[in-house]
Amino acid sequence: MDRQTRQSNRSLTRSLLVMVAGSFAFGFALVPLYNVICEAAGIRTNDAPSAVRASEAGAGREVTLEFMSMLPPGSDFELTPEANELVLQPGRLYEAKFSIRNNASQPVVAQAVPSIAPATTAQYLQKTECFCFTPQSFGASEQREFTVRFIVSPDLPVDVDRMTLAYSMYTLPGQKLAAR
């Protein structure tokens, strides 16, 4: 091998090592970067109980909150809201009930994942209690009722008069329980 080829090979090797190190560093940076982007976009802003308190600050205003379930194809769950919508006053504490049924023939552990539309309003729906905060264990063919308690902030922009709260239900990987 001549000198120029060796020098070219060293340069290529250095470049490849820098790319590998950069990719590795980027992989570690993804989690905090994802959290920052989600917070800035208002996504998953309420995946833990809110400390907000009820008030009369939104008196006289009505907002309609629709309830939905969005289940992935082939899901083992039925998730049904007790009511399709609720007309509410911002600032007051409300609750909604959901019925969830595990149609699988074996016990599973699952997690409910909420989404709020329009996405820009997610920060204004403050959940004080929700079945989505923790994984839920279901027996084979078990059906249970769950409650979500929430307050729509009086700071909700005045041009918003309708929001949607939807839940999806997913079996947690590696969390299927042994049949009893």
- Give 146-179 pLDDT, tens digit per residue: 999 999 999 999 999 999 999 999 888 765 444 4
For residues 148 and 110, state if they share a domain: yes
Query: 169 pairs with which residues across the strands?
Result: 112
Phi, psi (deg, nearest 5) at residue 37: -65, -45
What pLDDT was estimated at residue 101? 96
Q: Count Cβ atoms below 10 Å from residue 42 Cβ, excluding itself.
A: 16
In a domain, 53, yes or no: no
Could you tell me if residue 169 is left (phi over 0), alpha (psi between -120 and 50 degrees) or otherwise beta?
Answer: beta
Q: What is the CATH number of the domain that holds 126?
A: 2.60.370.10
Phi, psi (deg, nearest 5) at residue 94: -130, 165
Domain that holds residue 130: 63-171
Local confidence band at 23 (pLDDT 50, 70, 90 cut-offs): confident
Q: How many domains does the chain have?
A: 2
For residues 36 and 67, state if they share a domain: no
What pLDDT was estimated at residue 178? 43
Cα–Cα distance measured from residue 42 to residue 123, given in angstroms and rounded to the nearest whole number: 6
Local confidence band at 28 (pLDDT 50, 70, 90 cut-offs): low
Residue 80 has pLDDT above 90, yes or no: yes
For residues 137 and 83, state if they share a domain: yes
Cα–Cα distance measured from residue 118 to residue 104, given in angstroms and rounded to the nearest whole number: 32
In a domain, 94, yes or no: yes
Between 25 and 15, where is the model more confident?
Answer: 15
Residue 14 has pLDDT above 90, yes or no: yes
Residue 58 has pLDDT above 90, yes or no: no
Cα–Cα distance measured from residue 177 to residue 139, given in angstroms and rounded to the nearest whole number: 9
What pLDDT was estimated at residue 24? 76
For residues 35 and 72, state if they share a domain: no
What pLDDT was estimated at residue 83? 95
Between 23 and 101, where is the model more confident?
Answer: 101
- Work out the mean pLDDT of the chain and round it to a whole number: 84
